[in-house]
């Protein structure tokens, strides 16, 4: 893929729309900038869309499901069968993110990016890359071509969601072993030791955490990914879900749709996206900071500030969906708040 061409196809943020948005915020009868990151978020969306009239009528949570060969190294609390079980439950709208999404007026779309076996039930979008990745301690997780195809699928998926009328996308994932793949990619792209970025995932013991760190180290030593080769790092030690989510961030930027980062895993995907296409940063919005050790580290690398700090680490897109009501509250003030003129008070000015 020609990522330079793709990057060049992403429109620059509309500075005029952002300025009009800021002016509208400043006209609302409240102290200047007093809604903080919520004002910033609305201005970012205005710049991305090229329109200060920001509305988020339809929302979609995209939950990318994939299996990871690294599970064979004993780095997880459960086996890979749980990926399929949760995917099935996603189609029944019974998982945590589905329940939260109903409250947040958001539709959930589970996506098969490459579970071990194809689902024998309806209700999943298929952007399948294969039957899970390989064990990266023994060689590359996937081929370079597969990694690029996964990114392309994500770009396509974001474009499809936009054509269906969705105004904002929330990223999510489901795949046993994907905190291990994310830790490995993070270690490479940020050039930090695996110990710094590898956490307990769904609840590993000290012994399990030691196995997980050792597996990440072996994978990096075996494949020797180069921090200057983002696709190579993704192919060497990444996952299908990371590839797809990276594409969603790029695709969102191309078609003017903001994309919410969930936790650590999708933050790593956003990092991949921005390394491949720097202009994709315009669409990336942080929902919360994950309790995983590298959660804040990756957000800092992206220059993102989270709306929520709640110690969350569930996954599925729950953190991203949790940010939607906050954006609704911000837009309620932005669109319906009284102005200084309305209440007969002189507008605040910076002093």
pLDDT tens digits for the chain (351 residues)? 999 999 999 999 999 999 999 999 999 999 999 999 999 999 999 999 999 999 999 999 999 999 999 999 999 989 999 999 999 999 999 999 999 999 999 999 999 999 999 999 999 999 999 999 999 999 999 999 999 999 999 999 999 999 999 999 999 999 999 999 999 999 999 999 999 999 888 788 989 899 999 999 999 999 999 989 999 999 999 999 999 999 999 999 999 999 999 999 999 999 999 999 999 999 999 999 998 889 999 999 999 999 999 999 899 999 999 999 999 999 999 999 998 888 988 888 887
Nearest to 116 by CA among 69, 73, 63: 69
Q: Which residues contact 193 (CB under 8 A, 6 or more apart)?
A: 187
**What pTM does this model have?**
0.97
* pLDDT value of residue 336: 94
Any domain includes 349 = no
The residues pairing with 339 across neighbouring beta strands, listed in sequence order, are 28
Catalogue the E-assigned strands of 133-193: 168-174
Q: How many residues does the chain have?
A: 351
pLDDT at residue number 259: 98
The order of strands in the sheet holding 259-261 is: 125-126, 107-114, 59-66, 168-174, 259-261, 284-286
Residues in Cβ contact with 42 at an 8 Å cutoff, skipping those fewer than 6 apart: 21, 25, 54, 327, 330, 331, 334
List active site positions: 316
- On whether residue 341 sits in a domain, the answer given is no
163 contact partners, CB below 8 Å, separation of at least 6: none
Q: For residue 345, is it within any domain?
A: no
Question: Interior CA angle at 234 toward 126 and 1, to 5°?
Answer: 70
Predicted confidence at residue 13, as pLDDT, reads 98
Look at residue 18 and tell me if it is in a domain.
Answer: no
Confirm whether 4 is domain-assigned: no
Comparing C-alpha atoms, which of 91, 62, 247, 279 is closest to residue 166?
62
Q: pLDDT at position 208, please?
A: 83
The predicted pLDDT at position 347 comes to 84
DSSP 288: B
Cα 217 from chain centroid (whole Å): 25
**C-beta separation of 344 from 325 below 8 A:** no
Residue 243 sits in a domain whose CATH number is: 3.40.50.10210
Residue-level pLDDT at 293: 87
Supply the pLDDT for residue 350.
Answer: 80
Q: What is the pLDDT of residue 71?
A: 97
Cβ count within 10 A of residue 339: 13
> Is the CB of residue 97 less than 8 Å from the CB of residue 172?
yes
Domain that holds residue 123: 59-332
Residue 233 in any domain: the answer is yes
The pLDDT assigned to 349 comes to 83
Token pair 């890359």: residue: 129
In angstroms, the CA 14 to CA 312 distance is: 33
Question: How many domains is the chain partitioned into structurally?
Answer: 1
pLDDT at 233 (0 to 100): 98
Residue 5 included in any domain: no
pLDDT at residue 216, rounded to an integer: 98
Give the number of C-alpha atoms closer than 13 A to the C-alpha of residue 164, restricted to the C-beta side. 14
Is residue 241 in a domain?
Answer: yes
Structure tokens at 110: 């589970």
């Amino acid at each position: 893929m020609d990522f330079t061409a793709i990057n060049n196809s992403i429109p620059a943020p509309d500075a005029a729309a952002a300025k009009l948005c800021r002016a509208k915020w400043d006209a609302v009868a409240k102290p200047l900038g007093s809604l903080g990151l919520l004002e910033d978020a609305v201005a970012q969306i205005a710049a991305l869309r090229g329109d200060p009239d920001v509305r988020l009528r339809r929302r979609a949570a995209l939950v990318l499901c994939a299996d990871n060969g690294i599970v064979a190294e004993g780095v997880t609390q459960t086996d890979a069968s749980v990926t399929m079980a949760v995917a099935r439950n996603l189609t029944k709208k019974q998982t945590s993110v589905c329940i939260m999404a109903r409250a947040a007026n958001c539709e959930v779309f589970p996506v098969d990016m490459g579970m071990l076996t194809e689902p024998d039930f309806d209700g999943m979008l298929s952007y399948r890359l294969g039957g899970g990745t390989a064990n990266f301690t023994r060689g590359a997780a996937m081929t370079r071509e597969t990694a690029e195809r996964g990114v392309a699928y994500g770009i396509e998926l974001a474009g499809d969601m936009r054509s269906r009328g969705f105004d904002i996308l929330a990223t999510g994932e489901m795949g046993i072993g994907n905190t291990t793949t994310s830790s490995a990619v993070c270690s490479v792209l940020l050039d930090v030791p695996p110990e710094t970025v590898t956490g307990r995932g769904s609840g590993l013991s000290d012994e399990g955490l030691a196995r997980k760190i050792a597996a990440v180290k072996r994978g990096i030593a075996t494949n020797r990914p180069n921090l200057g080769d983002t696709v190579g790092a993704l192919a060497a030690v990444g996952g299908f879900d990371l590839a797809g989510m990276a594409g969603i961030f790029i695709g969102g930027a191309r078609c003017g749709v903001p994309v919410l980062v969930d936790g650590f895993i999708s933050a790593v995907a956003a990092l991949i996206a921005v390394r491949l296409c720097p202009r994709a940063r315009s669409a990336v919005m942080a929902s919360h900071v994950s309790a995983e050790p590298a959660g804040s580290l990756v957000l800092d690398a992206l220059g993102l500030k989270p709306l929520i700090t709640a110690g969350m680490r569930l996954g599925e897109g729950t953190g991203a969906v949790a940010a939607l009501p906050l954006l609704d509250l911000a837009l309620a003030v932005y669109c319906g708040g009284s102005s200084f003129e309305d209440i007969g008070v002189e507008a605040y000015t910076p002093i």
